[in-house]
Amino acid sequence: MVDIFTQEVAYKFVKFGAVGFSGVFVDFGFTYICKEWLKIQKYVSNAIGFTIAASSNYYLNRIWTFHSNNPEIAVEYGRFLLISLIGLLINTLVLWALVSKAKFNFYFAKLLAIGVVTVWNFVVNLNYTFVA
Protein backbone atom coordinates (compact mmCIF):
# COMPACT_ATOMS: atom_id res chain seq x y z
CA MET A 1 0.00 0.00 0.00
CA VAL A 2 1.25 3.47 -0.89
CA ASP A 3 2.14 5.77 1.99
CA ILE A 4 -0.58 8.42 1.72
CA PHE A 5 1.31 11.03 3.75
CA THR A 6 4.15 11.96 1.40
CA GLN A 7 4.58 15.28 -0.39
CA GLU A 8 4.33 13.50 -3.75
CA VAL A 9 1.02 11.89 -2.77
CA ALA A 10 -0.27 15.20 -1.44
CA TYR A 11 0.56 16.81 -4.80
CA LYS A 12 -1.23 14.00 -6.62
CA PHE A 13 -4.25 14.52 -4.36
CA VAL A 14 -4.32 18.21 -5.31
CA LYS A 15 -4.17 17.28 -8.99
CA PHE A 16 -6.79 14.56 -8.45
CA GLY A 17 -8.95 17.20 -6.77
CA ALA A 18 -8.53 19.57 -9.72
CA VAL A 19 -9.56 16.81 -12.12
CA GLY A 20 -12.44 15.96 -9.82
CA PHE A 21 -13.48 19.61 -9.73
CA SER A 22 -13.69 19.64 -13.52
CA GLY A 23 -15.68 16.41 -13.21
CA VAL A 24 -18.16 18.19 -10.93
CA PHE A 25 -19.10 20.45 -13.84
CA VAL A 26 -19.45 17.48 -16.17
CA ASP A 27 -21.43 15.56 -13.55
CA PHE A 28 -23.74 18.43 -12.61
CA GLY A 29 -24.17 19.45 -16.24
CA PHE A 30 -25.27 16.03 -17.43
CA THR A 31 -27.33 15.42 -14.30
CA TYR A 32 -29.13 18.72 -14.82
CA ILE A 33 -29.76 18.07 -18.51
CA CYS A 34 -31.08 14.58 -17.82
CA LYS A 35 -33.20 15.56 -14.81
CA GLU A 36 -34.53 18.95 -15.83
CA TRP A 37 -34.63 18.88 -19.64
CA LEU A 38 -35.08 15.19 -20.41
CA LYS A 39 -37.20 14.54 -17.27
CA ILE A 40 -35.28 11.39 -16.37
CA GLN A 41 -35.74 10.22 -12.75
CA LYS A 42 -33.32 12.09 -10.45
CA TYR A 43 -31.30 9.07 -9.27
CA VAL A 44 -30.95 7.74 -12.81
CA SER A 45 -29.90 11.23 -13.92
CA ASN A 46 -27.37 11.22 -11.09
CA ALA A 47 -25.94 7.90 -12.31
CA ILE A 48 -25.65 9.18 -15.89
CA GLY A 49 -23.86 12.36 -14.82
CA PHE A 50 -21.58 10.45 -12.48
CA THR A 51 -20.62 7.88 -15.14
CA ILE A 52 -19.81 10.45 -17.81
CA ALA A 53 -17.74 12.42 -15.31
CA ALA A 54 -15.92 9.24 -14.22
CA SER A 55 -14.89 8.56 -17.82
CA SER A 56 -13.51 12.06 -18.37
CA ASN A 57 -11.80 11.89 -14.97
CA TYR A 58 -10.11 8.60 -15.90
CA TYR A 59 -8.55 10.12 -18.98
CA LEU A 60 -7.35 13.26 -17.20
CA ASN A 61 -6.02 11.33 -14.19
CA ARG A 62 -4.23 8.83 -16.43
CA ILE A 63 -2.32 11.49 -18.34
CA TRP A 64 -1.91 14.29 -15.79
CA THR A 65 -2.28 13.12 -12.19
CA PHE A 66 -0.71 9.67 -12.28
CA HIS A 67 1.25 9.83 -15.58
CA SER A 68 0.29 6.25 -16.34
CA ASN A 69 2.06 4.45 -19.16
CA ASN A 70 0.27 1.18 -18.51
CA PRO A 71 -0.26 -0.41 -21.94
CA GLU A 72 -3.26 -2.32 -20.57
CA ILE A 73 -5.58 0.66 -20.87
CA ALA A 74 -8.73 -1.48 -20.90
CA VAL A 75 -7.76 -3.15 -17.62
CA GLU A 76 -6.79 0.15 -16.03
CA TYR A 77 -9.99 1.83 -17.25
CA GLY A 78 -12.00 -1.14 -15.99
CA ARG A 79 -10.43 -0.81 -12.56
CA PHE A 80 -11.11 2.91 -12.54
CA LEU A 81 -14.73 2.35 -13.52
CA LEU A 82 -15.17 -0.38 -10.89
CA ILE A 83 -13.90 1.99 -8.22
CA SER A 84 -16.14 4.71 -9.66
CA LEU A 85 -19.16 2.39 -9.58
CA ILE A 86 -18.50 1.59 -5.93
CA GLY A 87 -18.12 5.33 -5.48
CA LEU A 88 -21.45 5.78 -7.25
CA LEU A 89 -23.05 3.42 -4.75
CA ILE A 90 -21.54 5.42 -1.89
CA ASN A 91 -22.57 8.65 -3.63
CA THR A 92 -26.15 7.46 -4.11
CA LEU A 93 -26.46 6.23 -0.52
CA VAL A 94 -25.17 9.52 0.86
CA LEU A 95 -27.40 11.45 -1.55
CA TRP A 96 -30.45 9.37 -0.63
CA ALA A 97 -29.81 9.77 3.11
CA LEU A 98 -29.31 13.52 2.87
CA VAL A 99 -32.30 14.14 0.56
CA SER A 100 -34.80 11.61 1.90
CA LYS A 101 -33.92 11.54 5.58
CA ALA A 102 -32.26 14.88 6.33
CA LYS A 103 -34.33 16.84 3.75
CA PHE A 104 -31.30 18.57 2.20
CA ASN A 105 -31.58 20.27 -1.20
CA PHE A 106 -30.81 17.70 -3.92
CA TYR A 107 -27.90 19.63 -5.46
CA PHE A 108 -26.34 20.60 -2.12
CA ALA A 109 -26.56 16.96 -1.00
CA LYS A 110 -24.99 15.90 -4.29
CA LEU A 111 -22.06 18.24 -3.65
CA LEU A 112 -21.53 16.73 -0.18
CA ALA A 113 -21.75 13.20 -1.58
CA ILE A 114 -19.10 14.06 -4.17
CA GLY A 115 -16.78 15.18 -1.37
CA VAL A 116 -17.14 11.86 0.44
CA VAL A 117 -16.55 9.88 -2.72
CA THR A 118 -13.49 11.93 -3.71
CA VAL A 119 -11.53 10.61 -0.72
CA TRP A 120 -12.62 7.02 -1.47
CA ASN A 121 -11.72 7.31 -5.17
CA PHE A 122 -8.28 8.84 -4.58
CA VAL A 123 -7.09 6.36 -1.97
CA VAL A 124 -8.26 3.30 -3.89
CA ASN A 125 -7.08 4.51 -7.31
CA LEU A 126 -3.68 5.40 -5.85
CA ASN A 127 -3.30 1.93 -4.38
CA TYR A 128 -5.04 -0.19 -7.04
CA THR A 129 -5.58 1.43 -10.44
CA PHE A 130 -2.49 3.54 -11.04
CA VAL A 131 0.12 1.51 -9.17
CA ALA A 132 3.51 2.17 -10.75
Among 19, 3, 119, 1, residue whose Cα is nearest residue 66: 19
Burial class (CB in 10 A: 0-12, 13-18, 19+), 101: exposed
CB 12 within 8 A of CB 130: no
The dihedral sign for the CA sequence 69, 73, 79, 83: positive
The domain limits of the chain are 7-129
The pLDDT of residue 88 is 82
Q: What is the mean pLDDT of each run of 10 residues along the chain (132 residues)?
A: 75 94 93 97 92 92 96 95 91 94 94 89 94 76
